[in-house]
Structure 1
Amino acid sequence: MKLFKISSLIWIVIFFVGSFFIWFREKDASGFSNTLANQIVSLSIWGFVFICILIAHLVWHHHLIKK
């Protein structure tokens, strides 16, 4: 269970650091200016990826509880 808590904390930190990076960067990877619309789309994609990771993480947690 200790490993689960440590990995949860690491994923939370990665999510917030990535979100701040996406929000505050001036240009995206293709060189276009990072407008509000681009920021929202980028954060939506970032959030979707982390929802998938969260689901996998919760399945892992459920498996640990069963043991």
Structure 2
Amino acid sequence: MKALKISSIVWLILFIVLVIFIMMRHVDGTGVVQTMPIKLVNLGVLAVFALVVLVGHIIWFLIIRNN
């Protein structure tokens, strides 16, 4: 259970850092100017990835709880 809490905190910190990074940058690596719609698309992609991680954490929690 301790490993689940630690990994959840790490993922939460990583998610927050990535959201701040996406919202603060003005130009991406290819030189494209980041407008608000592009930033929202990037946040949507990050949210889908975060949902996959969340589902994995929920499954992990249910397995730990049942044992």
Deviation larger for 22-31 or 50-59: 22-31
Deviation (angstroms), 1:31: 1.3
Overall identity of the aligned pairs, in %: 30
Please, which runs of 5 or more residues in structure 1 have no aligned partner?
none
Structure 2: any 5+ residue segments left out of the alignment?
Answer: none
Q: Structure 2: how far apart are the matches of 1:29 and 1:38?
A: 14
Q: Tell me, in whole angstroms, the C-alpha distance in 1 between the residues paired with 2:2 and 2:60.
A: 13
- The TM-score, its normalising length taken from structure 1, stands at 0.95
Larger RCO (CA within 8 A; separation ≥ 6): 2
SS at match of 2:32: coil
Query: What CA deviation, in whole Å up to 9, does each residue of 1:1-49 have, x standing for no partner?
Result: 1111101100000000001001110112321101000000000000010
Q: What's the C-alpha RMSD, in Å, of the aligned pairs? A: 0.7
List, as ranges, runs of 4+ consecutive aligned residues in structure 1 with deviation greater than 4 Å: none
Amino acid at match of 2:15: F
- Residue 27 (1) aligns with residue 27 (2): yes
Mapped partners of 1:64, 1:9: distance in 2: 17
TM-score, normalising length from structure 2?
Answer: 0.95
